[in-house]
Structure 1
Amino acid sequence: MPPIPAGLDPARIEARLRAYEAFGIHRTGWPGDDKTTEWLRAELGAAGVASEAQRFAFPRVEVQRARLTWSDGFVDGEPMYDGGFTRIGGLTGDLGEDGDPEPFGKILIATSAMKGDRKWVAPEARAHYAALENEGVLGIVVPIGDAEGEIILRNAEHIRQPFGVPVLQVASKHARYLNAALLQGGEATLEVDGDRLNSRATNVIATLPGSDESAEPIVVMTPKSGWFTCTAERGGGIAIWLSLAEGLAALPARRRTVHFVASSGHELHHQGLEEYMKQRPALAKGAHVWLHLGASIGAKRAVARMGAADEALHSATTAALASAGIEGYEAMEVGQPGGGEARNIAQHGGRYVTFLGGHPYFHSPQDTFEKAGDPASVARWGTAMWTVLTGLLD
Structure 2
Amino acid sequence: MERERLFGLVDEYTAFGDHRTGSDADHATTGWVAQELTDRGLTVEVDTYEFERWRARGHVTIDDEPVEHLALHGEWEGPVSGGPVLVTGYSVGFGGEQSFEAVAGAAQASGYTSAVLATEHPHGSLVGVNRAPGEETGFPIVLVPGREADRLDQTEGSRIRIDLTAETSPGTTANVVATNGVEGTPLLLTTPMTGWFGCAGERGTGLAVLLDLVERLDDRPLMVLSTAGHELQYDGLKRWVADRCLDVAAIVHVGADVATEAADGLGARALAATRVAFCAGSPEADRVGAALAPGGWSFVPEPDSWLGEGEVWSEFDLPLLSVTGAGPWFHTPEDTPSNSTSPESLAVCAAALGEAVEAFDTAARG
TM interval, short-chain normalised: 0.7 to 0.9
**What per-residue deviation string (whole Å, max 9, x for no partner) do you get for residues 255-288 of structure 1?**
xx4211111111111121112212x6122xx543
Runs (5+) with no aligned partner, structure 2: 263-271
2:355 is aligned with 1:387: yes
Task: Give the structure 1 partner of residue 172 of structure 2.
Answer: 200
In the TM superposition, residue 56 of structure 1 has moved relative to its aligned partner by 1.6
Cα distance, 1:65–1:206 mapped onto 2, change above 3 Å:
same
User: TM (normalized to structure 2)?
Assistant: 0.86
Structure with bigger gyration radius:
1
Contact 2:192/2:227, CA 8 A, preserved across alignment? yes
The whole-number CA distance in structure 1 between the counterparts of 2:190 and 2:37 is 14
The whole-number CA distance in structure 2 between the counterparts of 1:186 and 1:33 is 37
In the TM superposition, residue 221 of structure 1 has moved relative to its aligned partner by 0.6
1:230-249 maps to which residues of 2 (within 5 A)?
A: 230-249=199-218
Task: Identify which of 278, 281, 285 aligns with 2:244.
Answer: 281
The whole-number CA distance in structure 2 between the counterparts of 1:186 and 1:17 is 43
Larger CA deviation: 341-350 vs 164-173: 341-350
Task: Give the structure 2 partner of residue 93 of structure 1.
Answer: 83
The whole-number CA distance in structure 2 between the counterparts of 1:347 and 1:316 is 24
Cα distance, 1:46–1:155 mapped onto 2, change above 3 Å:
same
2:152 is aligned with 1:178: yes
Task: Identify which of 122, 126, 144 aligns with 1:151.
Answer: 126
Cα distance, 1:73–1:237 mapped onto 2, change above 3 Å:
closer
Cα distance, 1:185–1:39 mapped onto 2, change above 3 Å:
closer
2:322 is aligned with 1:354: yes
Contact 2:60/2:69, CA 8 A, preserved across alignment? yes
Contact 1:119/1:128, CA 8 A, preserved across alignment? no
Cα distance, 1:386–1:42 mapped onto 2, change above 3 Å:
same
Cα distance, 1:306–1:121 mapped onto 2, change above 3 Å:
closer
In the TM superposition, residue 321 of structure 1 has moved relative to its aligned partner by 1.0
Contact 1:50/1:206, CA 8 A, preserved across alignment? yes
Residue type matched to 1:122 in 2? G
Residue type matched to 1:292 in 2? H
Contact 2:22/2:173, CA 8 A, preserved across alignment? yes
Task: Give the structure 2 partner of residue 331 of structure 1.
Answer: 299
The whole-number CA distance in structure 2 between the counterparts of 1:58 and 1:143 is 30
**What per-residue deviation string (whole Å, max 9, x for no partner) do you get for residues 285-326 of structure 1?**
x5432211011111111221111234646434312113xx23
1:130-149 maps to which residues of 2 (within 5 A)?
A: 131-132=105-106, 135=109, 137-144=112-119, 146-149=121-124
Task: Give the structure 1 partner of residue 261 of structure 2.
Answer: 300
**What per-residue deviation string (whole Å, max 9, x for no partner) do you get for residues 33-57 of structure 1?**
2222222222222221121211122
In the TM superposition, residue 186 of structure 1 has moved relative to its aligned partner by 5.3
Contact 1:309/1:337, CA 8 A, preserved across alignment? no
The whole-number CA distance in structure 1 between the counterparts of 2:217 and 2:103 is 47
1:43-58 maps to which residues of 2 (within 5 A)?
A: 43-58=36-51
In the TM superposition, residue 121 of structure 1 has moved relative to its aligned partner by 5.7
2:235 is aligned with 1:271: yes
Task: Give the structure 2 partner of residue 78 of structure 1.
Answer: 70
Contact 2:92/2:119, CA 8 A, preserved across alignment? no
2:64 is aligned with 1:64: no
The whole-number CA distance in structure 2 between the counterparts of 1:199 and 1:129 is 29
Tell me, what secondary structure is at the counterpart of 2:125? Answer: coil
The whole-number CA distance in structure 2 between the counterparts of 1:219 and 1:291 is 6
Residue type matched to 2:86 in 1? L
Residue type matched to 1:132 in 2? A
The whole-number CA distance in structure 2 between the counterparts of 1:368 and 1:204 is 24
- The aligned length equals 351
Cα distance, 1:235–1:188 mapped onto 2, change above 3 Å:
closer
2:138 is aligned with 1:164: yes
In the TM superposition, residue 138 of structure 1 has moved relative to its aligned partner by 2.5
In the TM superposition, residue 366 of structure 1 has moved relative to its aligned partner by 1.2
In the TM superposition, residue 81 of structure 1 has moved relative to its aligned partner by 0.6
**What per-residue deviation string (whole Å, max 9, x for no partner) do you get for residues 16-70 of structure 1?**
1111122222111212222222222222222211212111222322222242556
Cα distance, 1:147–1:234 mapped onto 2, change above 3 Å:
same
In the TM superposition, residue 189 of structure 1 has moved relative to its aligned partner by 4.5
**What per-residue deviation string (whole Å, max 9, x for no partner) do you get for residues 354-383 of structure 1?**
111111111111111111122221222222
Cα distance, 1:28–1:271 mapped onto 2, change above 3 Å:
same
Contact 1:61/1:197, CA 8 A, preserved across alignment? yes
- Percent identity of the aligned residues? 24
Q: CA RMSD in A?
A: 2.7
Cα distance, 1:142–1:51 mapped onto 2, change above 3 Å:
same
Cα distance, 1:312–1:159 mapped onto 2, change above 3 Å:
same
The whole-number CA distance in structure 2 between the counterparts of 1:175 and 1:258 is 49
Cα distance, 1:32–1:139 mapped onto 2, change above 3 Å:
same
